[in-house]
Amino acid sequence: MDCNNELLNDIEYLRKTLSEVATQIGATVIKDSFYQFTPQGVSGVVIIAESHLSIHTWPEFNYAAVDVFTCGEVIKPVDAVKPLTEKLRAKNTKYVELDRGILTENKVEVS
């Protein structure tokens, strides 16, 4: 939150930033896709071998929502928080860590 609104509307900067952060946390970048909205805002995803990073921006509110989703035990999504905070020049950052996927302890039988 309270990100630099010019950076949040710069599609190439965001593409480069998400790819660099993915590599920095040890992920293998496969492909990306980004879209520039009119009059402002960007949505994008970087596909990594381990899953994905995505971003949706609202420059008018100086706000970006970022998801870092990985599978396995090697890459930790929380490791992306600091570099993303710095690169988006965020003054306030909130993050939530969720376990997703096949969790055997929460398994539900469906018939």
Confidence tier at 109 by pLDDT (50, 70, 90): low
| C-alpha torsion angle, residues 46, 48, 52, 54 (rounded to 10) | -20
Residues in CB range of 89: below 8 A, 6 or more apart: 3, 4, 7
pLDDT at 61: 95
Q: Please check whether residue 111 lies inside any domain of the structure.
A: no
- In the residue annotation, 71 being an active-site residue is answered as yes
Candidates 19, 52, 54, 56; catalytic one: 56
- The residue among 13 and 77 whose pLDDT is bigger is 13
Structural domain contains residue 63: yes
Whether residue 92 is contained in a domain is answered as yes
Q: Does residue 52 fall inside a structural domain?
A: yes
In a domain, 81, yes or no: yes
Is the pLDDT at 99 greater than 60? The verdict is: yes
Per-residue pLDDT of 36-54, as tens digits, reads 999 999 999 999 998 999 9
Q: Tell me whether residue 56 is one of the annotated catalytic residues.
A: yes
CB 88 within 8 A of CB 9: no
Q: What angle do CA 17, 43, 55 make, to 5 degrees?
A: 50
CA 48 to chain centre: 11
Residue 35 domain-assigned (yes or no): yes
CATH number at residue 32: 3.60.90.10
* Overall number of domains in the chain: 1
**One of 3, 19, 33, 51 is an active-site residue; which one?**
51
Q: Which amino acid is at 47?
A: I
Which H helix or E strand runs over 53? strand 51-58
Q: Tell me the average pLDDT across 16-29.
A: 96
Q: Does some domain include residue 74?
A: yes
Residues spanned by the domain of 37? 7-106
% of the chain at pLDDT higher than 70: 88
Does 13 fall in a domain?
A: yes
